[in-house]
Amino acid sequence: MEDILRPIYQERASQANTLGVLLVKKQPNNTPVTNTFDAILLILVKEADSPVFVKHYTYKNEKAALYTVTDEKLREWILLGTHRKIFDWLYNGKVIFERNEYIHNLKTEITEFPFYGRKLKMGLEFAKLIRRYMDGKAFFENGHYLDAYNNIVHSLHHLARLSVIENGFHPEVTVWQQVKMIEPEITKLYEELVNSHETLDKRLELLFLASEFLIHSKMKSGMMHLADVLSEKEIWSINELTNHKDLLHYSVDLGMLLEYLIDKHVIEVVTIETKGPGVFHRYYKLTKKLS
């Protein structure tokens, strides 16, 4: 397949806008990494009309996908973890071409994992974890056990990803393999939920109890990024927080995270009178600095 793709990537490599070209081949028993394709050709460019442009090719019994991705979109994927396979592509792809050691420098940045990037990623995972956990608990308390199960599985996945990031690594496709070496108790919780012979309601009851402690242990690292923002001034309206440039990626998870942290006495609600009798504006402030 590489021979068939060669004219395509040679043409792209000759263009001044191209920063790097990687070829990712399907490995035995690892088709998810290449989305079932026999090869992925990743073209990294400075800029383009569209941040992501995809083409599919077929030759005899094989198929390949070409992704043209701008540097800005690639860095967004890396920062937010919205394209988890990108790490595998960058780590394991064959470097066909790179301009000014672009791919080498990119890999170095990923390995070093700047602390600001870690704080933001931990914050996003913690917010998703809290929303899934709280939703799951509400479903459980109302007897909707399958919906509770679905949410708690997702919450454990976010807990696993948070643990991996906390330890200085990027979560990859095989996140459970990563977390098994880093924090095996999280993997044990997941296995107990999935493999236990207890009734579903009993499994969920035990899991909510066990995961409460683990979630609390992650609160300091998980809210570090939000605490930095809240420290910028005394009190905040929800509109100010929602539209703050550093919190935009929290999206719908921010409100639930605030309520959780209020319950844990980390954030305090400040009420300010409105013109209407008995009606108050609700503001938020950080009650204590994280040490």
Q: What is the pLDDT of residue 141?
A: 95
pTM of this prediction? 0.84
Name, in order, each residue with C-beta under 8 angstroms of 285's C-beta and a sequence gap of 6 or more.
Answer: 230, 234, 235, 236, 267, 268, 270
Q: Which residues pair with 23 in a beta bridge?
A: 41, 94
- Do residues 163 and 186 lie in contact, with contact meaning Cβ atoms separated by under 8 Å? yes
Positions in the chain short of pLDDT 50: none
Nearest partner of 260 among 103, 149, 98, 132, judged by Cα: 132
Nearest partner of 165 among 146, 150, 186, judged by Cα: 186
Name, in order, each residue with C-beta under 8 angstroms of 160's C-beta and a sequence gap of 6 or more.
Answer: 171, 175, 176, 178, 179, 183, 186, 187, 190
Domains of the chain with CATH codes:
2-112 (3.30.460.10), 115-286 (1.20.120.330)
Q: What is the pLDDT of residue 161?
A: 93
What does the alpha-carbon distance between residue 219 and residue 166 come to, in Å, rounded to a whole number? 11
Q: What is the pLDDT of residue 291?
A: 52
Q: Is 252 helix (H, G, I), strand (E, B) or coil?
A: coil
